């Protein structure tokens, strides 16, 4: 910052501190701002908020006063028209917000008419995609701010991000349970939070990003955005290739760039080329083999070094939570919402001091059972070298029962073993149903099955709810569905065969 900007930021910080400490009301602060400034830019306000940290103002206090800050500066702080190209990550966030606002307008029409479950389920299903928008911010945009020494977005706005996410999840749960009035009330609360978040993004976050983050970094962000995905919009066009990167492998630009950079590093330290075998703890592997092993593990791994910086995550297709290259080199405390940072700090502290070696958590999200395990990484001398996180979708594993002895293959070509079914031999379906068939596969083949199953058991009524069906479609096997309905899997498959036979007869 030059001297004039630094002086202005200091003045703004003084004003914000005076308001926080009760020496200036919102109205008094507004009047003072109107008298002294004709314009305050988003990055100046953001830097002033950052300075509050150096004065001992807690993040929670800043968060609680965010609405007041916007009121104080509302006459001099306006969202600029950024005029961005379609490839630009900030333009992508804007497009997503525009799509979400369109969905909210559609919902306004629904709220004025008779409540129709399926119509609201469609709205909620769309709005739940906003979690993708939030994940990209947290894994891509916030780290870019942090590399500029500015960590306010990850500490303050993350709290609002999570409030929006939690509010819509609660609304979705109430809709799923058929609690109409409670759902509509919670939906209104969620929408209020969402509109506040979009306003803060448009007025402060996006303009500040354009001031603080260089085009070169936005080009790298664009490459990582595709890994997480997009909310309610088609993927944006690819970014233009910067002149210095044409016909070259850029660091972090995919597997080829990663392999080239790592090969150069190995050669620098006399460890040979990537195709040469290296001694690992047990055996010898090439760098390519090591990379392939990590990418095919049925679990997600992340490694944080002894300096509490994220150094690695496994690039698996089945990743439980989104990750992107922007997280590499990031302080692990900035990878978690403010409310859970104390847990992260306690784990690392206990591992570093040698008091503990492992910690485990489990949670249920959208019909999935997620298991998370942390273990301390130590060298042969017992010195703390970091933390390894293992994460796994254990939904299927948790549902297994009995013994597994006979190899079969499900419809996706995965090797499975049939569970013992007691004295009753496995029923051979004439329509290809088996205990491992998911309910989503069955209904994809026979769409009318979705409406027929609730006539078989009241427990299957949830299948007619779009949200519930989406959550269980690729998870619940016929074996699991049978248990829920009070049948053996053989009984359920016989019923399905008989129903499928009747459908065939009707078609004739």
Contact between 160 and 346 (Cβ < 8 Å): no
Residue count of the chain: 508
Please give the Cα distance from 132 to 134 (Å, whole number): 5
- Where the chain has pLDDT below 50, the residues are 1-2, 243-254, 411-413, 417-423
- For 244-299, what is each residue's pLDDT tens digit? 444 444 444 445 555 566 566 556 555 555 568 888 888 899 888 888 898 888 89
The answer to whether residues 430 and 436 touch, using CB atoms and an 8 Å cutoff, is: no
Residue holding tokens 């998370």?
372
Identify whether residues 34 and 153 lie together within a single domain.
no
C-alpha separations of 77 from 38, 73, 327 in Å:
9, 6, 31
What's the CATH number where 379 sits? 3.30.450.20
**3-state per-residue secondary structure call for 319-379:** CCCCCCHHHCCCEHHHHCCHHHHHHHHHHHHHHHCCCCCEEEEEEEECCEEEEEEEEEEEC
In this structure, are 344 and 393 located in the same domain?
Answer: yes
In 3D, which of 110, 111, 112, 84 has the Cα closest to residue 98?
84
Task: Tell me if 496 sits within 8 A of 467, measured CB to CB.
Answer: no
pTM comes to: 0.63
- Whether residues 65 and 167 share a domain: the answer is no
User: Is 148 in the same domain as 28?
Assistant: no
- Number of folded domains that form the chain: 5
Assigned domain for 317 exists: yes
Confirm whether 126 is domain-assigned: yes
Position 246 scores a pLDDT of 46
Cα angle: 32, vertex 33, 35; to 5 degrees: 65
Q: Please give the residue range of the domain that contains residue 60.
A: 3-72
Co-location of 213 and 317 in the same domain: no
Question: Is 339 in the same domain as 354?
Answer: yes
Q: Are residues 283 and 320 in the same domain?
A: no
Q: Domain for residue 233, yes or no?
A: no
Separation of alpha carbons 10 and 48, rounded Å:
7
């Amino acid at each position: 910052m030059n001297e004039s900007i630094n002086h202005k930021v200091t003045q703004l910080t003084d004003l914000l501190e005076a308001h926080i400490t009760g020496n200036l009301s919102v109205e008094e602060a507004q009047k003072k701002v109107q008298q002294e400034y004709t314009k305050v830019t988003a990055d100046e306000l953001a830097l002033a908020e950052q300075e509050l940290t150096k004065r001992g103002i807690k993040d929670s206090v800043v968060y609680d006063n965010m609405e007041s800050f916007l009121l104080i500066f509302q006459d001099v702080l306006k969202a600029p028209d950024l005029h961005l190209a379609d490839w630009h990550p900030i333009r992508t966030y804007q497009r997503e917000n525009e799509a979400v606002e369109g969905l909210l307008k559609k919902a306004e029409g629904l709220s004025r008419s008779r409540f129709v479950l399926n119509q609201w389920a469609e709205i909620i299903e769309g709005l739940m995609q906003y979690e993708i928008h939030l994940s990209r911010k947290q894994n891509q945009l916030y780290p870019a701010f942090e590399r500029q020494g500015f960590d306010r977005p990850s500490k303050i706005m993350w709290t609002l991000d999570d409030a929006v996410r939690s509010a819509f999840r609660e609304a979705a749960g109430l809709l799923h349970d058929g609690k109409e009035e409670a759902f509509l009330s919670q939906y209104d609360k969620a929408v209020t939070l969402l509109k506040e978040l979009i306003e803060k993004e448009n007025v402060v976050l996006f303009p500040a990003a354009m001031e603080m983050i260089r085009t070169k970094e936005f080009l790298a962000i664009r490459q990582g955005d595709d890994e997480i995905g997009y909310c309610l919009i088609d993927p944006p066009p690819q970014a233009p290739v910067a002149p210095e990167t044409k016909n070259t492998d850029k660091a972090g630009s995919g597997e080829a760039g990663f392999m080239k950079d790592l090969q150069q590093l190995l050669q620098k330290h006399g460890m040979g080329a990537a195709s040469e075998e290296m001694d690992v703890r047990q055996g010898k592997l090439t760098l390519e083999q090591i990379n392939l092993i990590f990418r095919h593990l049925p679990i997600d791994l992340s490694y944080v070094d002894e300096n509490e910086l994220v150094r690695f995550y496994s690039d698996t297709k089945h990743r439980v939570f989104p990750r992107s290259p922007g997280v590499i080199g990031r302080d692990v405390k900035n990878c978690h919402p403010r409310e859970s940072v104390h847990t992260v700090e306690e784990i690392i502290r206990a591992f570093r001091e040698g008091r503990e070696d492992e910690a485990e958590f489990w949670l249920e999200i959208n019909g999935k059972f997620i298991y998370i395990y942390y273990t301390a990484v130590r060298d042969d001398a017992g010195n703390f070298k970091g933390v390894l996180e293992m994460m796994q979708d254990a939904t299927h594993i948790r549902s297994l029962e009995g013994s597994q002895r006979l190899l079969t293959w499900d419809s996706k070509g995965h090797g499975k073993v049939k569970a013992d079914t007691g004295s009753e031999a496995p029923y051979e379906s004439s329509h290809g149903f088996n205990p491992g068939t998911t309910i989503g596969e069955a209904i994809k083949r026979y769409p009318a099955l979705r409406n027929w199953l609730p006539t078989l058991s009241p427990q299957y009524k949830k299948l007619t709810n779009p949200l519930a069906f989406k959550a269980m479609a690729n998870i619940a096997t016929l074996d699991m569905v049978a248990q829920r309905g009070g049948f053996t899997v053989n009984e359920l498959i016989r019923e399905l065969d008989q129903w499928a036979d009747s459908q065939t007869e009707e078609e004739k």
